[in-house]
Amino acid sequence: MIKLILDFVQFLYTVFPLVTSVIILALLGVWLSGSIKKHATVYYIIMALPSLMVIIPSVGRLVGVEMPNFYNIPLMGGVLRDYVHMATLGFPLLVIIMYVGALNPRYQWVKRLMSIRKELSIISGFPVLAHSLVRVSYNFIGPLSYFTRHDEYMATTKVVNELGAGISNFSFVLGIVLLALFLPLWITSFDAVHRRMGGLQWKKLQRWSYVLYALLFVHAMGLSVGGALNPRGGGERQRPATENTQAPAARGGGGGHASSISLSDIRVSADARRTIHITSLVLVFGSYLYLRVRKANASASRRKAGDTEKAVH
């Protein structure tokens, strides 16, 4: 039963990475909300350690100093790759933080997440910062050269669709703007900085989070659409719908009993995964916008009713 559940979660993560990560992390947040609130510093340290293991070599690379690569260490390398991958931690945490502000706080699970929204903001900063610095140290020069040395880029890079390449490279460069927006919002989430700023200045700065959410959607959509138009490596071999969908024993043609087909035998094409991811982004951010506008209208109606009642009395 446990193996079946793990296989199912792995299948969902392969096909619906963003939605699956958001649901799992939201459930963990609700379950661990009391622990996170009480032992926030412990969670910060736990999240900071892998971040440092990624950031230090990335900074070294930026200044021309080659440092040990922790990705080559068995098991640890896999953990760090998942940690840095934006769809695993950073992006889903930002989506949860974004959504909590648009949901009705009368529900108990929303209250639990709301109570640790600041802590989740700080926790999200470690994988986001690690992801951003890895992107800058490894992938920034190429996308930037698309705009600064376009002819040279096109001559030396395999491009299937120039529009797709332009969208992808613009989205990579936009990531720098996102990092510049995210850093002050993240740093001011720490209590010591928050207290020094004062409540009014802090609230003014936090309004920029809406700009961050909007650009985050543009960034993610740009990478997804650009990747669909111009796949890395000039395209991928698409598997036929029937390929590798039989159990190993049945494919081998040898003796023995045929085993049942498991979720791991199901193959979803790269084009289908991209389409699902783009649809997920539209649904996630579209539903957030709807909920946010509805909540704002409800608040405005309550204020208007209150003002009318005061005028009557």
Domain assignment present for 36: yes
What's the predicted TM-score (pTM) here?
0.81
Domain assignment present for 144: yes
Q: How many C-beta atoms surround the C-beta of residue 214 within 10 A?
A: 12
Domain assignment present for 27: yes
- In the numeric block, which tokens belong to residue 170? 């613009």
Domain assignment present for 59: yes
Number of domains in the chain: 1
Nearest alpha carbon to residue 217 among 123, 283, 298? 283
Structural domain boundaries enclosing 33: 18-234+269-293
Domain assignment present for 253: no
- In the numeric block, which tokens belong to residue 302? 């309550």
pLDDT at residue 4 in the model: 77
- In the numeric block, which tokens belong to residue 84? 């840095």
pLDDT at residue 79 in the model: 81
pLDDT at residue 262 in the model: 61
Residue 117's Cβ-side half-sphere holds a number of Cα atoms within 13 Å equal to 16
pLDDT at residue 261 in the model: 55
**Per-10-residue mean pLDDT for the chain, 313 residues long?**
76 83 94 95 93 84 75 79 83 93 89 94 92 80 88 88 92 90 91 86 89 93 90 48 40 46 68 87 93 86 75 66
pLDDT at residue 313 in the model: 61
Q: How far apart are the first and last CA of the chain?
A: 64
Domain assignment present for 3: no
